[in-house]
Structure 1
Amino acid sequence: MTSPTTPPTPRFDLIGLVVSDMAASLAFYRRLGLEFPEGAESAPHVEAQLPGGLRFALDTEDTIRSFHPDWRPPTAGGRVALAFLCDSPADVDTTYEALLAAGHTTELKPFDAPWGMRYAVIHDPDDNAVDLFAHLNTP
């Protein structure tokens, strides 16, 4: 119970990305296993339910500008990274190659990291870094 002077503690609920091309972003994140409603390619806002109740949302630039007219896309990235756990080290390579073949750009080719993971970084359609990893002791 909170006292009259202590505000309630907020609960982390959503990870949101602003996207320039909803269809391209949906295709990218669907390849990584996120489930979005069918036909959402022209929607201004789309959400996927994640394990544990967290949500992952995509909003178009126009949606953001509808309530924040002065909003501009950041000019420098690299501050946000999303990470997707793969079932095995081989799955890191397979997923990476499939995304590369689909035209996405790479930052780090798959490698065995000194911290015990197979690791790679590829970019989504808006140039956000997306990490792919698996523990090396996975069969």
Structure 2
Amino acid sequence: MPLDLYMVGLLPRDMEKSLAFYRQLGLELPADSEGRPHVQVQMKGDITFFLNSMIPLDRQHAQGVVLEFYVRDRAIVEAKYAELTGLGYHSYQAPNFSETINAYFAMINDPDGNIVMLTAD
């Protein structure tokens, strides 16, 4: 199965404070980011960094870090989700299509509580 790290994201508790912090750090976030629930910036190479306040964060099972892997095919998303949850890993979001992000995806927690997101077209 081809697996590409596509995005690294954070689910901030306070989006405005996070925007200010990452701007101060030196990220060139879009000027119109305030008030938006999802902000992203393309980093050098193929990785995108994002902040997202739309994903509900279950702090009992998740840390607020999202590693998104693009797998190209919905069948791969479903098979890998079934495999990992079958092995006892915590499901964060069953496979579904989101019009908001225009992608088919599933989310699973890794052993440390990070969210691993598998996406396809």
Normalised to the residue count of structure 1, the TM-score between the two structures is: 0.42
Return the structure number with greater helix share: 1
Return the structure number with greater strand share: 2
Higher Rg of the two aligned structures: 1
Structure of higher RCO (CA pairs closer than 8 Å, 6+ residues apart): 2
Normalised to the residue count of structure 2, the TM-score between the two structures is: 0.47
